[in-house]
């Protein structure tokens, strides 16, 4: 089953039973969200069901990107062996949209030791299985107007289900006042827990992060939410695999 269709002649790969489509694997620091600054192994999976205009990993889903074909199929067992080579026990599964690979993720979770800390970055449009919701920290990032998506990005029933997970966090990427207004509507409509809300300024440069953070700082102070940066951008710029 094709995951998405774009106006291009390049083929979109299929996610086959028993294999991940692995885009990147690397060891770094968690740059975003509740675990910011924690050492972590990153598994970046291929393909997404959204098309965010400001996405910094378009090479995982945009068939027009020159690097789109740079992925490999790996089994959960093969991926486990490669993950265990790193001196870390925190795993971040990201994308793309990793929950497109939910069966493979469940198989990987069965192979990893129970004491591992597992995070999944998701856009909140797909419902994680009960096993994933119980086992993993879900970093849920509903996409707001500035993302300019073609598809519907806010799905209240799914967000409410995800909010009942064992360890959910909601991370909103903010580029404008209209984004902040939209975020507050989503929080109210879905009854999301305010203590689990993270406001993250959009930006792939230090200058953009600073501009967007300062634009909403006073509103964050009044709301009681958390405002967190993108640490990896501050440290490395917009680079891959670090």
> How far is residue 228's CA from residue 217's CA, in Å, rounded to a whole number?
10
Mean pLDDT over 189-209 rounds to 95
Mean pLDDT over 200-206 rounds to 93
Residue 192 has pLDDT above 90, yes or no: yes
User: Which tens digits make up the pLDDT trace of 62-77?
Assistant: 999 999 999 999 999 9
> How far is residue 43's CA from residue 95's CA, in Å, rounded to a whole number?
8
Give the pLDDT of residue 3.
Answer: 43
Per CATH, the number for 20-236 is 3.20.20.70
Give the pLDDT of residue 38.
Answer: 98
Give the pLDDT of residue 44.
Answer: 98
Q: Domain coordinates of the chain in residue numbers?
A: 20-236
- Percent of the chain at pLDDT > 70 equals 96
User: Which tens digits make up the pLDDT trace of 111-146?
Assistant: 999 999 999 999 999 999 999 999 999 999 999 988
Give the pLDDT of residue 6.
Answer: 44
Query: Is the omega angle on the peptide bond into residue 96 within 30 degrees of 0, that is, cis?
Result: yes
């Amino acid at each position: 089953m094709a995951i998405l269709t774009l106006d291009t002649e390049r083929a979109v790969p299929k996610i086959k039973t028993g294999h991940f489509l692995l885009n990147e694997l690397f060891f770094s620091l968690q740059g975003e969200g509740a675990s910011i600054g924690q050492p972590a192994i990153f598994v970046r999976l291929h393909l997404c069901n959204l098309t965010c205009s400001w996405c910094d990993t378009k090479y995982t889903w945009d068939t027009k990107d020159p690097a789109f074909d740079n992925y490999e199929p790996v089994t959960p067992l093969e991926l486990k062996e490669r993950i265990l080579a790193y001196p870390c026990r925190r795993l971040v599964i990201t994308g793309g949209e990793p929950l497109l690979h939910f069966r493979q993720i469940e198989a990987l979770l069965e192979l990893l030791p129970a004491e591992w800390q597992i995070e999944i970055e998701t856009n909140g449009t797909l419902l994680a299985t009960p096993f994933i919701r119980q086992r993993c920290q879900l970093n849920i990032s509903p996409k707001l107007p500035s993302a300019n998506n073609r598809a519907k990005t806010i799905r209240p029933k799914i967000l409410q289900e995800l909010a009942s997970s064992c360890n959910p966090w909601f991370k909103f990427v903010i580029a404008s006042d209209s984004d902040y207004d939209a975020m507050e509507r989503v929080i109210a409509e879905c009854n999301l827990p305010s203590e689990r809300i993270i406001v993250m300024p959009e930006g792939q440069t230090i200058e953009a992060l600073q501009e967007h953070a300062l634009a909403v700082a006073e509103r964050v102070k009044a709301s009681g939410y958390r405002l967190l940066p993108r640490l990896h951008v501050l440290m490395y710029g917009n680079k891959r695999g670090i």
